[in-house]
Structure 1
Amino acid sequence: EPPHAPGRPGIAEPDVLGAPGLDPRVREVATRLGYAASYAVPLDAAPVGRLGVAVWLYDEPAEPDDHRRHLLGLYRTYAAEHLARVLELHRQQKAAAALAEGLLPHRLPRVPGIRLAVRHAAGPRGGGDWFDALPLPDGALGLAVGSVPGSGPEAVAAMGQLRASLRAYAVMEGEDPVAVLSDLELLLRLTEPARAATVLFAFAEAPGGPSSGAPDGPVAGSGGTFPRTLTLAGAGHCPPLLTGERRTEFVETSLSAPLTMLACWEAPSVEIAPAPGETLLLYSDGLLHRTGDPTDRAFARLHAAAAGAPRAVRQDPEALVDHILGRLLPQGLDDPASPEDVVLLAAHFEA
């Protein structure tokens, strides 16, 4: 008879306390739990085999009759099949999450004058939130955060394609974030017209670049560093947050629609000049959703968490991202109860 057949007999102990040679420890446990009889059936399902055992406990000596054994056998079959499906789903979710992690940067680049830190957690099914930080020609740096709707392998694959495409466009024309996103939008419209995506791209020019207003060559006493200019453009993505000793404010980059949402996509670019010691925070909307608050309240909490960071924390991007996550997500970044991905990327501009 197959191991999962309903009629397979279980193991009955009609009088646990009266069983000869009973282990004293078993007797103590049975007495404390208040049961006097038990009936156990194995939980088997193809192709995984033995999943566990289902046990029924009785508070007085008893043994199930044939009809009850038949019902318990049916229950065992359905329970084993359900457990097998749950385990397979869990395996697929872990595989999707691992794939999503594998498509993202394994380490952040080292760029003179900028310290980077990131925290990322994929949802239980693997999702479409992503980030990137890539060195660009002439000592510049590109920063990106984006989101592809949905979850599972399709969203993960789309996320990987979007990130790889943005990297190529950023290397060729990163100094113009609007051009980067325009090309990305055209590619997405031609290859996956039914899929929308949000993206934020920031171009940080090298110290002393053409937009910084610095003279050619290093200045005595400056260590060779000049203020950096950041040019940002967003496609329906959450506005970044600039925080430092004197200010904490959102940078308005969300005046445009997500990619492919309009027949003709356009976006303005925004230029900012972070002061030495300030940090730019880029994040996905999953960070806001995981708070469980309405959007305006979640934005306010994010602002308060950054503004309220102690001075020593603000000077360390690793400490700052952990501080913010601790304030917004006290349950932790890896919350199995939430389907949302989370990305939080910090770029700290050193003095």
Structure 2
Amino acid sequence: MISEKDFIAKSSTVTIDNGSFQWSAPSNIALVKYWGKRENTNSSNAISSEQIPANPSVSFTLNHCKTITKLAFAKKQDQSSFSFDLLFEGQPKEEFKPKIQKFLERIAVYCPYLKEYHFTIATENTFPHSSGIASSASGMAALAMNIMSLEKALYPEMTEDFFYQKASFLARLGSGSACRSVKGSVVVWGNNTSINGSSDLFGVEFPNTIHANFKNYQDTILLVDKGEKVVSSTVGHNLMHNHPFAEQRFEQAHQNLSKLKKVLENGDLQQFIQIVESEALTLHAMMMTSLPYFILMKPNTLEIINKIWKFRNETQTPVCFTLDAGANVHVLYPENVSETVLQFIQAELVGYCQNGNYICDQIGEGAINLSV
């Protein structure tokens, strides 16, 4: 079994003075939700106990909603601390820097070479930053891919499998769900007995053949509320520690992941819909029954859900919804009903979106190296 110690880079005999890399990494949408963190009792290092999921999750990797990040680096004299500049869409973004600083501090034990360089991080999203789409997963995944490109240059003997494993491991320490944005169209994060190779430390590609029904699966994201969340995901995760239904929820997630594994293999769209919608509502039920309790859905979120249920019941079209920790609605459906569902969205649902905004996306494959 792989442990955190396996990701600690040893001293390198290769010297690199400067250079740059560029990667894109997508966002993802969880089907079985990650909600709640726990201490890593197997860890011998306090840093690596961060971002350990209390339950496993599985997600669709998106294709169009992604972050593009270029990492330029140059050797520096003072190697006592981290040194970096951050540009977002070409402009300095000071408010993003504390999160990057914290990320570098978390991964320093695994990437000791980082203090040897000054970095210029230039990043941009293919979706509006204020769109209400969480960019932490795509942003941290893209940054982790660049850091691993530097590490690969310092350690050229590195295997491709290790490269992607460690990239996912590092991304997790920036944002838990970011580990699911590195590689694969369907990604599992968290130990689960039904998924070979699954780990709390990094995401793994779904190991079995996925049914043709899920090829090019569509995700139209309805932007109900583009404002900042009232309660951050970090705070929400922490509220699971003393939650009255926490243990039942964690067990439910394990069971739903095992069920969804079979569904992804056999193509049963009706059971897919049932599991995915139940997971979305359970996520928000956990928020509404924590102390303090909170509601991230908006009235228009509920209007959209009821419209989807009515449309599906009347037309038997296999369309469903899922939600992240916010008000926006992800409308999921097979590619072969795209025309029908998009007509329904434009006729019935767009009016519930803020300024009529929505984003059309579909399943993607993960991070892409733009350096070559």
The TM tier, using the shorter chain, reads under 0.3
Which structure's relative contact order is higher, taking Cα pairs within 8 Å and 6+ residues apart? 2
Q: TM-score, normalised by structure 1?
A: 0.26
TM-score (norm 2): 0.25
Higher helix share: 2
